[in-house]
Amino acid sequence: MTRRKSVRRTTIDDVAKLAGVSISTVSRVVSGNAPVNEDTATRVQRAIEELNYKPSTAARALSDRRTNAFGLLVSEIAAPYYLYLLRGIEMAVREAGLGLLINSVGMSENQQEKTRPFLGEHNTDGIIVSSGSLPDEELQRLHELGLPLVLLHRTSPNGLSIPSLNVDNQAGIKAIIDHLVTVHGHQRIAFLRGPESEEDSYWRELGYREALQAHGLPIDPSLIGYGGFDEHISYTMVSEWLESGMSFDAIFTGNDEAAPGVLNALYEHGLRVPEDVAVVGFDDDHLASRLTPKLTTVRSPIEQLGKEAVAQLLSLMEGKPTPSKILPIEFIVRQSCGCSG
């Protein structure tokens, strides 16, 4: 018995790629309710005919309406990081004369299901996704509807052309390792990784491994532990290391939010910072300059990231090419590494 090959349904993304335009432009051509350059419209129509694309009812409905509001999808709005991100986004949407809707999505299927009304009721003109919790399947569904999407701290899933924004995580951790090794002579540098759902964790660990190799230092798996970008988890991890007798001369905390937990664990075990162990963070949040000693860290342009995300959504809605970007970081030297800054 001969089995028929399954034929993949043509999507709006296929049309956009063939025509060399954004999915928002295809959406405007399909709806016919917004001006599109004649040559561009002709290319889109030819692509539609060549691919035999049949717009879904949902895709047509999406292209026919405007809400003058953007959506922001986050994983945990209470995290200090989001205060800076939200400030940048709010400034940009206000300047554009738009509104902002915010929703939080958790890791569980039940929490993700509760997010569907926010994503599925067509109540925004575009969504900024600052969360690793939203499944690729949900991103694909929204993308195929023609809804403008921008990803923060997350690359587009394979096969989808969704623009993304991130900070240069690898450059940041390499600056940290270079400083600890060349300026302070540290060789046993512990690393606290973040959650697997956060791409930043992957890039920072990759940068850590590459930087150690560049300095001819071995990668010791016992010096890599889970801190979860969290103060309490990091406290527990460092305490377990110390109680097991493990030695190190520096710790990268993963992010600044975890730094207080690391410091407390070291102090409770009779260690001084930076005399016995150097401590370095990432982000330069509001805690970094208030800790004792003040935290050496990497400054992420979080507020600028929010502004850039809004600019990318506006660009997508106008049908303009919108490439992904990696924003530069700045290494901030203070006292926790052993410097006098």
Q: What is the pLDDT of residues 18-56, one digit of tens each?
A: 888 877 778 777 766 556 778 888 898 898 888 888 765
Give pLDDT, residue 134.
78
Give pLDDT, residue 22.
75
Give pLDDT, residue 144.
78
- What architecture does CATH give domain 12-57? Orthogonal Bundle (1.10)
SS3 state at 332:
strand
**C-beta separation of 193 from 254 below 8 A:** yes
Give pLDDT, residue 5.
43
- Return the CATH superfamily for domain 169-301: Response regulator (3.40.50.2300)
Give pLDDT, residue 113.
59
Residues 6 or more apart in contact with residue 212 via CB below 8 angstroms: 177, 189, 218, 219
Highest mean pLDDT among 83-97, 131-145, 200-214: 200-214
Q: What is the pLDDT of residues 236-247, one digit of tens each?
A: 999 999 999 999
Phi, psi of 145 (to 5 degrees): -75, -10
Mean pLDDT, the chain, integer: 87
Give pLDDT, residue 78.
67
Strands 330-332 and 297-299: what pairing?
Answer: antiparallel
Q: Where are the domains of the chain?
A: 12-57, 66-165+302-326, 169-301
Percentage of residues of the chain with pLDDT beyond 70: 86
Q: What is the pLDDT of residues 122-144, one digit of tens each?
A: 578 889 998 776 788 888 888 87
Give pLDDT, residue 292.
96
Give pLDDT, residue 64.
53
Partner residues linked to 167 by β-bridges: 327
Q: What is the mean pLDDT of residues 153-175?
A: 93
Maximum alpha-carbon separation in the chain: 78
Where residue 294 falls among pLDDT bands split at 50, 70, 90?
A: very high
- pTM for the model stands at 0.79
Report which of residues 189 and 74 the model is more confident about. 189
Give pLDDT, residue 120.
53
Q: What's the fold here for domain 66-165+302-326?
A: Rossmann fold (3.40.50)
With 80 as the cut, is the pLDDT of residue 112 above it?
no
Report which of residues 81 and 168 the model is more confident about. 168
Where residue 85 falls among pLDDT bands split at 50, 70, 90?
A: very high
Where residue 6 falls among pLDDT bands split at 50, 70, 90?
A: very low
Give pLDDT, residue 33.
54
Q: What is the mean pLDDT of residues 249-263?
A: 98
Counting DSSP H helices and E strands in the chain, the numbers are: 12, 12
Distance, CA of 14 to CA of 155 (rounded, Å):
19
With 90 as the cut, is the pLDDT of residue 319 above it?
no
Tokens representing residue 214 in the block: 């560049």
Q: CATH topology of 12-57 equal to that of 169-301?
A: no
